Copies of this chain bind each other. A is one copy, B any other.
Amino acid sequence: MHADDAPQPPKRKRRPSKDAPSLSSDRIIAAALDLIDTQGVDNFSMRNLAKLLGVYPMAIYWYVPNRNALVARVTAHVLADLVPEDPSADWQDDLRTLLHRFRAIIRAHPNVAPLIGAQLVSNASVDLMMIEWVLQVLRRSGLNEADIPAAYTATIGAMTGFVTQEFAAVPQDDKTGWADEMKQIAQSADPEQFPLAAALMPKLLNRSFILRWDNGSAVPLDDGFDFFVESFIAGLARRAGH
């Protein structure tokens, strides 16, 4: 949503018909998403993007002011279809749908997950649509009007927080070594000192936060996510007096 200070292809009434430019904002964003999806955001560089587009690096800067702005546009593009249809009859169902849709989107583009925190800000009108949607749902919950702003922030935090953690890149320097070491720690967990951890380890190892070496792409935390969503919604309901 942030206006760029760089020169922008202006409202282009009509292009001079011939010699259409080889680049466009859309092509750049699509290619950037492609690179991020396949290589990860760390290995995504303007120079690789230029190579993929068959163009010199600086050509991109005609359409995008800098790398950060490009990354912001990519996340905005990915989240474009987040907000569901018009609210249903059941506000709890609506919230559930929103949170699950968000997760489905990030699952399709997991490497975008680490960018969400800073960059959820996107196209202004789209954002207002989503914000209004959430506010409407929260009002229909019966919450105290005065609580709606805090409930809104809590809801967005719930929507983005769990999932960005779930799909956060796990350092892959030597994953097998890491996995082996974690397995060993798990095995040797002293049942005297850590009785519950030791007992539940088979259910937790590589299937829950902290004790995993794969991220959500390889091993989704479905049960944990469902439990989280249902707890949050149930808590909202209780606070709304249901």
Q: Which residues of A contact B (CB under 8 A)?
A: 1-3, 5, 65-66, 68-69, 72, 113-114, 116-121, 124, 127-132, 135-136, 139, 147-154, 156-158, 160-166, 168-171, 173-174, 177-178, 181-182, 185, 189, 193-197, 200, 203-204, 207-211, 221, 223-228, 230-239
Contacts and interface: CB of A to CB of B under 8 A. Distances in A.
Contact of A238 (B195, B209, B234): B234
Given A147-B227, A158-B158, A230-B235, 8 more contacts: A5-B177, A128-B185, A131-B210, A153-B227, A157-B162, A157-B209, A157-B225, A237-B238
Contacts of A173: 65-66, 68-69
A46 B119 CA distance: 27
A124 B185 contact: yes
A103 B114 CA distance: 19
B117 A154 contact: no
Residue from A118, A129, A165 with most neighbouring chain B CB atoms (10 Å) = A165
A157 B150 contact: no
Given A2-B181, A131-B194, A118 B152 contact: no
A164 B131 contact: no
Q: Across chains A and B, which 6 residue pairs bring their CB atoms closest together, nearest first?
A: A161-B161, A153-B224, A117-B168, A235-B235, A231-B235, A154-B228
B118 A171 contact: yes
B231 A194 contact: no
Nearest to A209: B156
27 contacts: A117-B164, A118-B169, A121-B182, A128-B189, A131-B204, A132-B195, A147-B227, A149-B200, A149-B204, A149-B207, A151-B227, A152-B200, A152-B208, A152-B224, A153-B224, A153-B227, A154-B162, A156-B165, A156-B209, A157-B166, A157-B221, A161-B164, A161-B165, A164-B164, A227-B239, A231-B232, A237-B238
